[in-house]
Structure 1
Amino acid sequence: MKRFSFSLQLLLGLAAGIALGFVAKIWDVAWLAETLTRVGQLFVQLLKLAVPPLVFTAVLVSVANLRNVNGAARLASKTLLWFLVTAFVSVAFAIGLGLIINPGQGVTLDTGAAKAVDTEGAGTWLDFVTGILPANVVTAFTEVNVLQIVFLGVVLGAAALAVGEKAEPFLNLARSVLELVQKALWWVIRLAPIGTAGLIGKAVSTYGWDLLAPLAKLSAGVYAGCLIVLLAVYPTLLAVWGKVNPVTFYRNAWPAIELAFVSRSSVGTLPLTQRVTIERNGVDRDYASFAVPFGATTKMDGCASVYPALAAIFVAQVFGVQLGVGDYLLIAFVSVVGSAATAGLTGAVVMLTLTLSTLGLPLEGVGLLLAIDPILDMIRTATNVTGQMVVPVLVARSEGRLDEAVFDAPPQSLDDAPAVRPAPVPA
């Protein structure tokens, strides 16, 4: 397999998974379907295993590393601003698309049989805000509550900045743990071609195309909305504001986008996203070490902007609820402000629940969409991860922190594990 690039290996895994999935579906080969399911589950399980230590140390170290970056406050502010701008533009296009295609119009579903989904207290803004604060530090990690882990990482990172040199032993430990987790996770990522075959094969063998029939318009709308963001919004921003070639950007970023599509996890893709951002797109390492982990836990244009907007319109039309201008403005507000609720994990149930509850729409609508969520989550996560790379490029370009020679060079091979970088010396 070393004769093939990592990107080509992923494509081969994707093709093999689709073929095997159709074989299992058409000829009802139960053992093959079970094998594909198990392979996909094991791959995702390995990715999730690293989530708590990876998110905590990545966020903590990224916040602490800001002291090594000149103009850190300005960089952080610009990054957050671009996060908000791209989220708003994405949700605006999604709402417009929803009004054009009317995804729920004419759809007949058994809404009486739909059950409200238990979202563990994430149905209201108050629950969302209070849910950020962990009642128990250990529980936040054992239950893999990414939002609470991010909160703890930000607080301890800020505290380390305030303490100064006395916090250096703790930061060195955090950096060491981060390097160890990233190295181990890279070994898991190298298994992605096999995991890809399992995940895609499982989706095809389980769902086929039959399940999409009553929800075809919504499914097509989500893919179309994400593709508009991927192929129109981001390239325009890169070309007009970033003054860089969008084709070159996508050539460089493709391995991370592809892995995000099949893994359905922004956090699981984080090590590869960061490598691509630094080694292929030429973003300054110190800035990228803050922006990429921050984006992987808060920057969700697919899950938090495109999908909730279209899904809310769909649910409203299915349940016969008329939405007004104020409701569409609320959708935009929730998408822009509440994107951290998705927290980099697979799926967007929490974000959709937050949107529906804000609009006063039936939460049973979430249950109607759960069946096709894995299929939609692929393109949503690919959109998320692409946005997480676009913003650092835009900010780095405006701040003179983009190495154009690296950006324009032939893509660096990702077949080897990233070299461990020594811990930075405090300023």
Structure 2
Amino acid sequence: MHLPKWASNFGAQVIAGLIIGLILGFVAAGMGDGNALAATLAWVGSTYVQLLKLLIPPLVFTAVVTSVANLRKVTNAARLAVQTLVWFAITAFFSVVIGIVVGLVVRPGMNSTVDAANATEPSSTGSWMGFLNSVVPSNFLGLSAKVGDTGAVSVSFNVLQILVISLLVGVAAVKAGKAAEPFIEFSGSLLKVIQEVLWWIIRLAPIGTAALIGNAVAAYGWEALGSLGKFVLAIYVGLGLVLFGFYPALLALNRIPVVGFFKRVWPVTTLGFATRSSMGVMPVTQRISEESLGVPREYAAFAVPLGATTKMDGCASIYPAVAAIFVAQFYGIQLEFTDYLLIVIVSVLGSAATAGTTGATVMLTLTLSTLGLPLAGVGLLLAVDPIIDMGRTALNVTGQALVATIVSKREGIWDKEVWDNATPGGDAESPAEPKAKATVGAR
């Protein structure tokens, strides 16, 4: 018995997982605290995110080294990098302006019934010096470890540091000439192996999505909204205006089919919503960009990891703008034009400053400290952070794929053949034999 064509489509499977997850989440929520279904959903969801993150360090390293080697004959590689950063700034600018307008119209901090006792100083804050420190690798692998209160050792990685290391090693390999050819070939071979294993993990996305959404519904439900419902509404209105208004306008201006883009990027968007992790979704974003959106592999290997650390329209633009206005209104502090200008500047540049310590809360502290607003206001919003984080991350990862696609189109390296041959919503083929790509650097 053959499944209908739509049922074998990756995007359709993710949507099905989303629906099933909602149903399981409401069932688990109705079973009370500590039930087996909720525990199972939490375990499956966290395990899936852990599997996705498992291959990020070797994926970034091998992909970037291989890409730098492939770009050695390209004359406009530097232009691609500059254009990527410029479009990061453009989208961040308009996103934060939208966030400010929504905050001023909705006025989420006025007449709020949130308990002032919830105001607490955050445990960590963003800083420009922190960004500079995060760029400098602490070790060759960009890894760090810490011992918890129970004595357990947890290991983490900094993608920005891995990206810097990979770029340096790639350039060094090219400079080394013929002697480095075996190393470059090995990196390319290892990359194909990693992509194959990664594809096995990505195919589990419908199950992971179901578990993650189910756990979110069971854990948070609607009770957390309470007195912060107006703030949550303002955030999602801002996110929606950027996702379904600003992004389509950019696609149309660059003559990229709007509906086609959203059909192809849908697995990235939904997985971002479910996982709440740009890092966890990064391998999927890169694969969809290469295999469905027509972004050349050489460029995607640079743009997507960079975007996953510094391109956050949800966390670094919409959220800090609305949240800063909320805190100011809650404490009765009048913001002037220069304050709104500072919000724009911090949002355009600030996501880079939180790259080493990713998180919207850290970004918010950077904004509040720049404006001179009480940092204790961060604590007022923590109760609903998981709920709005889903929407923020969905916008983040969609924007990362958007910029890579737009730059590819504008720079004449967009592979229209890959776009036309891709199944909207993500195809179900293994990436072991990559489709032909447009030559990077062609104009």
Would the TM-score normalized by the shorter structure come out above 0.5?
yes
Are 2:23 and 1:22 aligned? no
Letter paired with 1:186: W
Secondary structure of the corresponding residue to residue 210 of structure 1: coil
Report if aligned partners of 1:108, 1:214 keep a CA contact under 8 Å in 2. Answer: yes
2:54 is the counterpart of 1:49: yes
> Do the aligned partners of 1:59 and 1:150 also contact (CA within 8 Å) in 2?
yes
| 99-108 vs 170-179, which moves further | 170-179
Deviations 1:144-197, CA, capped at 9 Å, x for gaps = 233333333344344445444444444444434433333222222211111111
C-alpha displacement at 1:10, in angstroms? Answer: 1.2
- Residue number among 221, 226, 239 corresponding to 2:239 in the alignment: 226
Q: Name which of 238, 243, 252 aligns with 1:239.
A: 252
Distance 1:288 1:309, change over 3 A: same
- 1:119-130 equivalences under 5 Å are 119=124, 122-130=125-133
Q: 1:60 to 1:217 in 2, by over 3 A?
A: farther
**Change over 3 Å in CA distance of 1:378–1:178 after alignment to 2:** farther
Residues matched between the structures, number: 424
Query: Residue 275 of structure 2 corresponds to which residue in structure 1?
Result: 263
Partner of residue 295, structure 2: 283
Quote the offset at 1:209 in angstroms: 0.5
From 117, 120, 125, the counterpart of 1:115: 120
- The change in CA–CA distance for 1:367 and 1:140 in structure 2 (over 3 A counts) is farther
Residue 76 of structure 2 is aligned to residue 71 of structure 1: yes
CA gap of 1:402–1:132, structure 2 versus 1, over 3 A, is closer
Is 1:359 the counterpart of 2:371? The answer is yes
Q: Aligned partners of 1:373 and 1:57: how far apart in 2?
A: 35
Q: How much does 1:86 deviate?
A: 1.0
Counterpart of 2:325, as a letter, is: I
Letter in 1 for 2:308: A
Q: Which moved more, 1:159-168 or 1:220-229?
A: 159-168
Structure 1 distance, partners of 2:191, 2:26, is: 40
State how far apart, in whole Å, the 2-side matches of 1:285 and 1:138 are: 23
Cα distance, 1:74–1:385 mapped onto 2, change above 3 Å: same
CA–CA distance in 2 between the matches of 1:184 and 1:378? 27
- Render the CA deviation track for 1:47-86: whole Å, top value 9, x for unaligned: 2222333344444444454324342122222222111111
- Aligned partner of 1:250 in structure 2 is 262
* CA spacing shift, 1:147–1:407, aligned 2, 3 Å: closer
The aligned residue for residue 404 of structure 2 is 392
Instruction: Single out whichever of 379-388 and 106-115 deviates more from structure 2.
Output: 106-115
Deviation digits for residues 203-261 of structure 1, max 9, x if unmatched?
11111101012111121122111111111111111112x11221121122222222222
Distance 1:403 1:178, change over 3 A: closer
What letter is aligned with 2:213? I
Distance 1:302 1:194 in 2: 25
Task: Give 1:339's aligned residue.
Answer: 351
The one-letter code sitting in structure 1 at the alignment partner of 2:97 is A
Counterpart of 2:310 (choices 278, 285, 298) is 298
Answer yes or no: is 1:35 the counterpart of 2:40. yes
Q: Quickly say closer, same or farther: Cα 1:66–1:344, change in 2 above 3 A.
A: farther
Asked whether 1:6 is paired with 2:10, we answer yes
Query: 2:89 is aligned with what amino acid?
Result: L
Question: Structure 2: 5+ residue runs without aligned partners?
Answer: 145-154
User: Residues of 1 paired with 2:162 and 2:381: CA distance?
Assistant: 28
Once the two structures are overlaid, the 10-residue window that deviates more, 267-276 or 207-216, is 267-276
Q: Alpha carbon RMSD of aligned pairs, Å?
A: 3.0
- The superposition leaves residues 289-332 of structure 1 with CA deviations (integer Å, 9 ceiling, x where unpaired) of 33233323322111111111112212222233332222211111
**1:352/1:79 CA distance change after superposition, 3 Å:** same
CA distance in 1, matches of 2:141, 2:75: 35
Shifted more, 275-284 versus 81-90: the winner is 275-284
Q: Separation in 1 of the partners of 2:185 and 2:361? A: 36
Give the superposition deviation at 1:138: 5.4
User: Is the 1:55–1:267 Cα contact (8 Å) retained in structure 2?
Assistant: no
Identity of aligned residues (%): 52
Judging changes above 3 Å, is the alpha-carbon distance between structure 1 residues 175 and 349 closer, same or farther for their aligned structure 2 residues?
A: farther
Say whether residues 1:131 and 2:137 are aligned partners. no
Residues 402 and 133 of structure 1, relative CA distance in 2, 3 Å threshold: closer
TM-score with structure 1 length normalisation? 0.89
Paired residue type of 1:105: M
Structure 1: how far apart are the matches of 2:193 and 2:373? 45
Structure-2 separation of matches of 1:319 and 1:165 = 65
In structure 2, the CA distance between the partners of 1:34 and 1:69, relative to structure 1 (3 Å rule), is same
Q: Counterparts of 1:367-378 in structure 2 under 5 Å?
A: 367-378=379-390
Q: Does the 8 A contact of 2:320 with 2:367 survive in 1? A: yes
Gaps of 5+ in 1: none
* Partner of residue 211, structure 2: 198
Mapping of residues 59-208 of structure 1, within 5 Å: 59-119=64-124, 122-137=125-140, 140-141=143-144, 142-208=155-221
Q: Is contact 2:61–2:166 with CA below 8 Å preserved after alignment?
A: yes
Change (3 A) 1:415 1:72: same
Are 1:298 and 1:340, in contact at CA under 8 Å, matched by a contact in 2?
yes
Which letter maps to 1:40? Answer: G
What's the offset of the Cα at 1:342?
A: 4.9
Q: Which amino acid is 1:91 matched to?
A: V
1:416 aligns with 2:415: no
Letter in 1 for 2:38: A
Deviates more, 1:127-136 or 1:218-227: 127-136
State the TM-score, normalizing by the size of structure 2: 0.86
